[in-house]
Amino acid sequence: MSDEDDFDDADIQRRMDGAVTALRGEFAGLRTGRATSSLLDPIVVDAYGVMTPLNQVATISVPEPRMISVQVWDKSQVIAVEKAIRASGLGLNPVTEGALLRLPIPELSEERRLELAKVAAKYAEQARIAVRNVRRDGMDKLKRLEKAGSMSEDDHRIWSDEVQSLTDAAIARIDEMLATKDSEITQI
C-alpha cells in the first residue's frame, strides 16, 4: 500500500467543490432586481401533503426582464403555490390568472441592495469556513498518517502544500463568485 492510497486529495477536492456548489445555490436564491427562474429554486410547495419543489408542480418561465411566470399544472395546487411564493421571503406578490401566476419583480431600493450585499457576503463567508474545515480535516489526517509512520515527513510536506493549494483555489473561486454577485446586486 503506497502513501497515495492512505491520503485521498480527490476527496478533499470533492468536498471543497461541494462548498462552492452550495454557495452557487445560495446565490441563485438572492434576488438581484432581474427576473430569473433560479430565483424560485428554493421554494417548496405543500402539494398533496408532500413538500415538493416548485419546479416539480409548475413550469417556470421568464417572459420579460422584470416578470416571472409560473404555470401550475394542476389547478387545485394554484393556491398552495401562491401561498408558498408569498411565504418564501423573496418579497414577491403573485398575480393569479387561472392556473398562471405572474410575479412582477419590483425595483430594489438602495437599502435593500445593501442588505442583499451583506447577505451575499455572509453566504460567501460560510462557504469559506466550510472550505477551511475541509482543509483542517485534511491536515489532521496528514498529521495522523505521519505520526503513525505510514507517511514520511517529506510526503507530509508535499501533501500539505497540495491541500493548501486546493484551499487557495476554492477560496479564490468563492471570492470571484462574491464579486460577481455584488456587481449584479448593486447594478441599477
pLDDT for 151-166, tens place per residue?
888 989 999 999 999 9
Cut 0.75: pTM above it: no
* Pair 11, 39 in one domain: no
Domain span holding position 11: 3-27+109-186
* Pair 13, 44 in one domain: no
**CA 93 to the chain's CA centroid:** 24
* Pair 75, 22 in one domain: no
* Pair 42, 97 in one domain: yes
Q: What is the pLDDT of residue 33?
A: 65
Q: What is the pLDDT of residue 2?
A: 42
* Pair 180, 114 in one domain: yes
Q: Residues 69, 74, 78, 81: what is their CA dihedral angle, to the nearest 10 degrees?
A: -70
**Domain end position, chosen among 59, 79, 104:** 104
* Pair 87, 47 in one domain: yes
Strand partners, 44: 53
Q: What is the pLDDT of residue 4?
A: 43
**The domain that contains 173 carries what CATH number?**
1.10.132.20
Axis crossing angle, helix 153-186 with helix 110-148, rounded to the nearest 10: 170
**Domain end position, chosen among 104, 126, 145:** 104
Q: What is the pLDDT of residue 188?
A: 61
Strand order in the sheet with 58-64: 58-64, 67-72, 100-104, 95-97
CA angle 109, 90, 104 (to 5 degrees): 70
Q: Report, as ranges of residue numbers, the positions in the chain whose pLDDT lies below 70.
A: 1-6, 31-34, 188
**Domain end position, chosen among 72, 104, 136:** 104
* Pair 40, 18 in one domain: no
| Residue 135 CB partners (closer than 8 Å, separation 6+) | 12, 16, 163, 164, 166, 167
**The domain that contains 58 carries what CATH number?**
3.30.1360.40
Q: What is the pLDDT of residue 31?
A: 64
Number of domain units in the chain: 2
Strand partners, 125: none
